[in-house]
A and B are shown apart, each in its own frame.
Chain A
Amino acid sequence: MSTLSAVPRTTARPGVPAPRPKKRPRVGDWAANTAAVVVVLIAILPVYWMINTSFQRGVDIQSDTPHLLPWNATLNNYRKAFAQGEFLHALRNSLTVTLLTVAAALVLALLAAVALSRFRFRGRTGFVVTVLIVQMVPAEAMVISLFKVLDGWQLVNTALGLTLVYLVFVLPFTIWTLRGFVAGVPVELEEAAMVDGCSRFQAFRRITFPLMAPGLVATGTFAFIQAWNEFTFALVLMNKPENQTLPVWLQTFNEGAKGTDWGGVMAGSTLMAIPVIVFFLLVQSRMTEGLVAGAVKG
């Protein structure tokens, strides 16, 4: 064993070759590092360029040589973005629809997830398969008839109408993920609480619910991002300027023969991206882990 103990990070088991010795610098390393730098640059370029442009003055944006840094930084574009059309309306509409979607999705999905992971019943597999199929239906194909149906219900140009649409399109995924989180809490814990005198509901509320809180946060964030970013349905269903959401509002910069106000668009895009990026950074690892766990194990 003395030879093994000399190896750093003794993940190797006895009888298995030790991890490879410290590498000499090779051509391969140089190539890999260069490739990595190129990937980083390409991945980050649009994000950087959006922020960079959003702080530039009009003359610097419209110059033959692009300004790689916002030397003459200005907040004018942000001021313009706030004043452009209906920004505050759009912001309020986006927030309303998004928060309604998140709340409704979490409640409905939690109920369904409990049913699916805590009970065996007739039609269970059928429901799961339906949910998976529904998740795959291209939303874009449903635009036409959803417009007609919601029009008949007088829900076009209302927050409720758009919320209902977003709800059905995030519901399959939220049910699917929450189901995993509920199943992750051993049912024995609830049973123990029930032996100690809790009702079934109390046992769930006091034991399982707190343990799956991270799952609710991750799932809620997913619903938030979907609803916040959605463009197609917002474009069709909220066709009055005062009902626009942020993605549709952003399009108003593009219209008109005068061409695009790039400074304003970039400021608007940045404002729209900030909440998504913040929420995203909070939960992404959990979402990838979930997918890999589902695909590799089992």
Chain B
Amino acid sequence: MPYALLLPAALVLALVLGYPFARLVVLSMQKFGLKQQFGAPPDWVGAANYTTILQDTQFWHVLYRTVGFCFAAVVLTMVLGMLVALLTRRVGRVLRLALIVSLLLAWAMPPLSATVVWQWLFDTQYGLVNWLLTALGGDFHGHSWLTNPWSFFGVALIIVVWMGIPFVAFTLYAGLTQVPGEVLEAAQLDGANAWQRFRHVIMPFLRPVVLILTALSVLWDFRVFTQIYVLQKAGGISRDTNLLGVYAYRVAFGENKFDLGAAVAVVMVLITLGFTVFYLRQITRQEEL
């Protein structure tokens, strides 16, 4: 009986995810170029594609960049998300409502709409940001943000963090409401200052939530695609701004090297799975499967 109930879901997962994944691994060990696109049978090349990409400095640049971007995005999201959660708890009822509603709106924005709007805010000619910075005394008239890798990633970081904070802040805020008030009162009566109360009372309570949120953020920010792809299209530079996901896509579909693209994708999956083990350990520690 339970097997019959599981069968449809298991079948779809196996067929549309398991099988393509197996194909991905096979493809990454074959020679698959333009000739094969037109029907020639692919040759088996073993680990050659992997050696090719691992010897390509471009790949390593992309990997470091991806890890760096992911790290910066996660740290910023978690720290700012925590501050916003504490703030939400601290302020009066009207401001709290305003915070909750505005964060909800930011959270609900489709990633593509959000990216496009931020792109418009940072527009070279008519962007609000350039106008504001110029009004504040800088000279940003006609400043282009997306043609320099550093400011490109600055803009991308703002978009990713802006979209990531609401979920983190709401979850932490909900977690904060579970911290018993009496313990906080007691700590305060004993003379603990705000930082000590946060460090020794609030954090131990929130630890499991913080760990899971961090793990989820790492997994999400490691795979950013939409924001980077759209900004690249606007800025016109892609070589120095590729992250792993976009890189695999460009190698496969842009350069028609499906074999090398597949190898990059497999590496990406392996890194993710390594991290997933950590995440699963956190979950299984807290919950019965």
Contacts and interface: CB of A to CB of B under 8 A. Distances in A.
Interface bin, chain B: 35 or more
A144 B57 CA distance: 22
B9 A231 contact: no
Interface string A142-154: 1111101100000
B133 interface: no
Contact of B248 (A128, A144, A270): A144
Given A127-B6, A141-B265, A273-B108, A46 B118 contact: yes
A53 B166 CA distance: 24
A250 B102 contact: no
A247 B131 contact: no
Given A39-B87, A127-B10, A145 B20 contact: yes
B46 to A, nearest CB: 18
Given A65-B131, A133-B276, A266-B117, A138 B12 contact: no
Contacts of A43: 99, 102-103, 105-106, 162, 165-166
B120 A149 contact: no
Contact of A12 (B84, B88, B182): B182
Contact of B212 (A11, A145, A295): A295
Contacts of B174: 288-289, 291-292
Contacts of B43: none
Contacts of A27: none
Contacts of A16: 182, 185-186
Interface residues of A, number: 100
B234 A254 contact: yes
Interface in A135-177: 136-146, 148-149, 164-165, 167-168, 171, 175
Interface string A4-28: 0000000111001101100000000
Contacts, number: 306
Q: Would you call the interface of chain B mostly helix, strand, loop, or mixed?
A: helix
Interface stretch (A71-79, A81-89, A105-113): A105-113
B47 interface: no
Contacts of B185: 16-17, 19-20
Contact of A296 (B104, B208, B223, B276): B208
In the complex, the 10 A-B pairs of residues with the closest C-beta atoms, listed nearest first? A140-B245, A145-B24, A115-B5, A280-B108, A119-B2, A269-B113, A138-B223, A141-B265, A115-B2, A136-B276
Interface of A: 11-13, 16-17, 19-20, 32-33, 35-37, 39-40, 42-47, 49-50, 53, 61-66, 107-109, 111-112, 114-116, 118-119, 121, 124-125, 127-134, 136-146, 148-149, 164-165, 167-168, 171, 175, 228-229, 231-232, 235-236, 247, 250-251, 254, 260, 262, 265-266, 269-270, 272-273, 276-277, 280-281, 284, 288-289, 291-292, 294-296, 298
Interface of B: 1-3, 5-6, 8-10, 12-13, 16-17, 19-21, 23-24, 27, 83-84, 87-88, 90-92, 95-96, 98-99, 102-114, 116-118, 120-121, 123, 125-126, 128, 131, 162, 165-167, 170-171, 174-175, 178, 181-182, 185-186, 188-189, 205, 208-209, 212, 219, 222-223, 225-226, 229-230, 233-234, 245, 248-249, 252-253, 258, 261-262, 265-266, 268-269, 272-273, 275-276, 279-280, 283, 286-289
